[in-house]
Amino acid sequence: MSGIQICGTGRCLPENIVDNNEYARIVDTSDEWIRPRTGIVTRHIADGETTWRLGERAARQAIEDAGISPEQIGLIIVSSVSADFATPSMSCIIQGAIGAKNAMCYDIACACAGYVYGLDMARRFLACGDIDYALIVGTEILSRLTNYEDRSTCVLFGDGAGATVVRAADALYGASLGADGTGYGLMFCKNPPPASPFTHNPPEQDAVYSRPEGPGHMVMGGREVYKFATKVMPQSLLQACEKAGIQAGELDWIVPHQANVRIVQTAMDRLGLPMEKAWMTIDHTGNTSSASIPIALDELHRAGRVRRGDKIGLSGFGAGLIYASLVFEW
């Protein structure tokens, strides 16, 4: 069985912390409305930090925790929907900053499932034996995509980065990854139209371009996304457990995407597992998209709550619509 071992973890959160009461000053909302519906109390919002810098700082922590040198890393995968630049990639910039001169690099845009996608991609490279270590980074500044006039979404998002160093291991492993592209219009952020002097017509109409919302802001159909998430999270975790040869009840921890506490509660109930097995950070991080799971993993690790041999389940879901669950031994 070709599995993985997490050798080191790291995270970086902006120093600027914004609580629910501060949102109540700019939109029609309140702590009493936000907290029970989302589980969010505070979130970190970038104030001068950049996406790649957050990722770099998380990566340095993970490498130090792993006890290896940057030159030993053979692959860097960065997941982000809020990259600083269209090009070059965040992975290349982070590679240069940390001195991982032997690493191949690429970015992925798999939204809130991106870290789990990256981890499974890294496992496949590691299984070939071509590299010894991989670095997976989820880094986001969602505040640059947030519409602070939309009270239903602006309170949800936070900024931050998480990273892990992994290597191959002879250990149990199972993954279930998938997508439903017919739901692409349920969560989106439009790019601005081309600024070409040769472009005269509006974009071809589809499920996104037919919407009235302007470019640059995250748009989400909350009810439909909730239904999708509460279905695919338990379903894909059960499939991952089956591939790993275990029952869901054997999992010591589940580290879910921190989107909404109600989603996680419903999914855990459908799995027949107590909420105490779900490691939650949403109360102080909000939804950080692809950074949420590696941030939570780092907190779990540094809190001393996970031991070698513990069976861990990860599950992410988001825009695409996309989902990914993974089961491995710590």
Could you list the active site residues?
112, 257, 287
C-beta of residue 116 within 8 angstroms of C-beta of residue 314: yes
145 burial type by CB count under 10 A (0-12 exposed, 13-18 middle, 19+ buried)? middle
Maximum Cα–Cα distance across the chain: 60
Helices (H) and strands (E) in the chain, counts: 9, 13
Separation in Å, CA 313 to CA 106, 107, 126, 168: 25, 23, 20, 17
- In this structure, the strands spanning 133-141 and 104-108 are unpaired
Which residue carries 């949403």 as its tokens? Answer: 282
Q: What is the dihedral of CA 50, 56, 62, 67, to 10 degrees?
A: -160
Other CB atoms within 10 Å distance of the CB of residue 191: 9
Angle at 63 between CA 62 and CA 64, to 5 degrees: 90
